[in-house]
Structure 1
Amino acid sequence: MSLYRAEMRRLTKRRFTKFFVLIALVVLGLLAGGTAYTHEKTTAKTRAAAEAAADRDYQEQLQFAEQARQECRQNPSNFGGDCDNISGPAREDISSDQFLTPPFDFREDFGVLVVAWAAMLALVAFIIGASFVGAEWNSGGMMNLLLWRPQRLRVLSTKLVALLSWLFGLSVLSGAVWTGLFWLIATLRGTTERVTPGAWQSIGLTGLRGLALVLVAGAIGFGVASIGRHTAAALGAAIGVIVIFQFGLGIVLELARAKFYEAYLLPAWIGGWMLKSYEVVDYNAPCDYSATNGCEQPTFTITWQMAGGLFATVALIIVGAAMMTIRKRDIT
């Protein structure tokens, strides 16, 4: 059996892998279930029920207004003495739309759910990638493997390729199921109108960017764990980035009134990558007044090209460092 096939089999059979994939599926399933529960197709029956609810609310508002007028006439000083001007709303002021459960519009709403799918899988990919190589370093399995396959770079790169191939398959399969599931939800609980070829192209490109994010997250987790030779090294680095460099740095930069401080934080770059662009506003700077648009704060736009370049650079640096480390350090 080739090393690649052996690594693919080992990754697939690991209980850790199955556990975190199951967690991801449960979370995504709850999100899909919540979406289906909170949306409803607009039909003649639901429209009639909403109209009836609007009529009831209108009658209740008239009753409240009449009660207020009676109380005003009994104690005019409490109401300023102008009791005749107390009146309820006009019927047209109460729209039946506010009593309708909104339908799930596949064209308008699915894009955000693609981002949620990508974020969930990227988190799982980072953890699985870190554990995949970190567990072998910690248990001594890597040392034993290199005794009969003493090609360090080839062994580590094959493991990385196996990981990325497995993540690619998981992402494609889950993405197809995710799309089909919400298409079904839109069919039963909303609408699939206006889903043009252009809309499918936009969804597909967002999905491809999500796939790239998953692969980069897996490669970074793999690289950090390999450098630290322990799964905890990658998880500790992730916690440090989140706690220190996200929350802590964000608070410090905001207190220091740094220019475009949000651009130093990871969520803005993920947003720029997944949403094609993300606008950071400098609320601490004086606004530029415009006669047409009023007060406008300075903005900085993070494009998907900028975010993609940053993620690719970070991944290459970390994976490259992992390759250099295994080549030069003792295997003990």
Structure 2
Amino acid sequence: MNGSWLPLLRAEVDRLRWRRAVLLLVLGAVVVTAFTFTVTAWDTRPVSDEEVAEVRQTTYVVSEIDQCTAHPRRYLGPRARGLDADEAARTCEELVLGWYSGRPTLDVASELGNGFIACTVFVVLLLLLMGATFAGHDWSTGSMSNQLLYETRRTRVWLAKALVVGVAGLVVSAVLLGALWGGLLLLASSRDLPVPDAVVADGWAQVARTAVAAALATLLGFALAMLFRSTVATIAVLFALAVSTGGLVAAAGLFSESSRWDPVTNIAALVEGSASYYVDEGLDRECYTSYGEVRGRLPGCDPERTVGAVQGGLYTGLGVVVVGAASVLVHRRRDV
């Protein structure tokens, strides 16, 4: 048995690289990322002259333009003042054609909270399954017993697997989401749409935070699969936790601000930089009306609270560490 970590890590890298289910999950993440970019680019594409001409010929558009030209103040409001007949007709035509032929302009900043987040959710879930599949396959095929014959120190085996799959989750998510964000920036540049430097920096920061979240998700899937020795059982447990965790925290009554400890709130804070939640208890009596409504404008009565990225990261990381510790303990003591 070699005392070095390097042969063990190389073996785990090869095992991860050639596992078919892992490759399919990574391919799925690639497809989701490419699909998100393609749909965003297509839905926000500029309107061509041919499309405008086609819309211009439709009966209802012609009628709408005529109505606007006949009654410019009704359509244009204050803009109609000082316009002669030709200017009013031209303005009406631009207005009506914009209604019927326009598409939303690419807004890179809004994409961070819309399409980018949707893609993030799918990528993170696929990487979580990658971690679970990587470990679950060893148990379902019985290859774990052979691996422990080569390296009898179980903790080393667990840590080597965790390191490899965690780094893989970090790298895959960083590459894919970085490519998506970079692609959106290039798309905006090609269309001469200005993007503030602050938005660019926020996007790259979100990519980095999401990569950390993806690595933690991958490790969580791996740790649970090593704990339960089954990919299917891991998926079932994760589904049950996703459905019930927030309700269990609230039902326990341990925290007045139950949403603060909701996993969804903290994961959102880690990914997006911050997340808001609302408290129903703990406010002064003066903060409530006679009907029980909150007077949010009074000092100290605002029910909205914010969780930062560091707080969300610590919460999420601590949860993964707890599950990982239990997984290592069971792996050390349980018969193979």
TM-score, normalisation: structure 1: 0.76
Residues 54-73 of structure 1: matches in 2 within 5 Å? 56=62, 58-59=64-65
Shift of 1:45: 8.7
Match of 1:2 in 2: 7
* 3-state SS of 2:111 partner: helix
- Give matches, 1:48-197, under 5 Å: 56=62, 58-59=64-65, 90-92=74-76, 95=95, 97-99=98-100, 100-110=102-112, 112-188=114-190, 190-196=191-197
Work out which of the residue numbers 271, 278, 281 in structure 1 matches 2:278: 281
RMSD of aligned Cα (Å): 3.7
**What percentage of residue pairs aligned between the two structures are identical?**
20
Aligned with 1:279: secondary structure?
strand
**Counterpart in 2 of 1:240?**
240
Task: Return closer, same or farther for 1:289/1:322 CA change in 2, 3 Å cut-off.
Answer: closer
Moved more, 213-222 or 296-305: 296-305
CA contact (8 A) 2:263 2:316 kept: no
Relative to structure 1, the CA distance from residue 195 to residue 57 in structure 2 (aligned partners, 3 Å threshold; closer, same or farther) is farther
194 and 37 in structure 1: CA distance in 2 versus 1, 3 angstrom threshold:
closer
Provide the rounded CA distance (Å) in 2 between the counterparts of 1:289 and 1:159.
Answer: 50
Q: Could you give the per-residue CA deviations for residues 182-214 of structure 1, whole angstroms, max 9, x where no partner exists?
A: 2343245x5441332x33322221111101100
Q: What is the aligned partner in structure 2 of residue 272 from structure 1?
A: 269
How many residues align? The count is: 299
Q: How far, CA to CA, are the matches of 1:180 and 1:203 in structure 2?
A: 9
SS in structure 2 at match of 1:2: helix
Tell me the secondary structure at the aligned position of residue 234 of structure 1. helix
Question: Match for residue 214 of structure 1?
Answer: 214
- Aligned-pair distance for 1:10? 1.3
1:28 equivalent among 20, 25, 33: 33
Q: Contact between 1:171 and 1:211, CA under 8 Å: does it hold in 2?
A: yes
Q: Deviations along 1:258-301, whole A, 9 cap, x unmatched?
A: 9666445433222222222222134796211648x9xx862222
Letter in 2 for 1:233: A
Task: Please tell me the residue identity of whatever aligns with 1:31.
Answer: T
Three-state SS of the structure 1 residue aligned to 2:31 is: helix
AA in 2 matched with 1:323: V
Q: Of residues 299, 320, 329 in structure 1, which corresponds to 2:304?
A: 299
- Secondary structure of 1:104's counterpart equals coil
Is the contact made by 1:134 and 1:229 (CA closer than 8 Å) also made in structure 2? yes
CA contact (8 A) 1:107 1:192 kept: no
CA distance, structure 1, for counterparts of residue 273 and residue 124 of structure 2: 18
Mapped contact 2:68–2:74 kept (Cα < 8 A): no
CA contact 1:283–1:297 (8 Å) conserved in 2: no
Name which of structure 1's ranges 24-33 and 94-103 shifts more when overlaid on structure 2: 94-103
Q: Distance in 1 between matches of 2:238 and 2:127?
A: 13
Q: Displacement, 1:60?
A: 6.9
Structure 2, unmatched stretches of 5+, are 1-5, 78-91, 282-291
Letter of the 2:75 counterpart: R
What per-residue deviation string (whole Å, max 9, x for no partner) do you get for residues 13-47 of structure 1? Answer: 11101111222222222222221121123789988
Alignment check: 8 A CA contact 1:103 1:191 kept: no
Name the CA distance, whole Å, in 2 between partners of 1:2 and 1:314. Answer: 30
Any gaps of 5 or more consecutive residues in structure 1? 67-86
1:13–1:60 distance in 2 versus 1, CA, 3 Å: farther
The verdict on how the C-alpha distance between 1:122 and 1:16 changes in structure 2, with shifts beyond 3 A counting, is: same
Separation in 1, partners of 2:63, 2:156: 72
**Which residue is 2:289 aligned to?**
none
Q: 1:57 & 1:259 partners in 2: Cα distance?
A: 60
Whole-angstrom CA distance in 2 between matches of 1:98 and 1:265: 42
Q: CA deviation at 1:157?
A: 0.5
2:289 aligned with 1:313, yes or no?
no
Tell me if structure 1 keeps the 8 A contact 2:181–2:204.
Answer: no
1:226 maps to which residue? 226
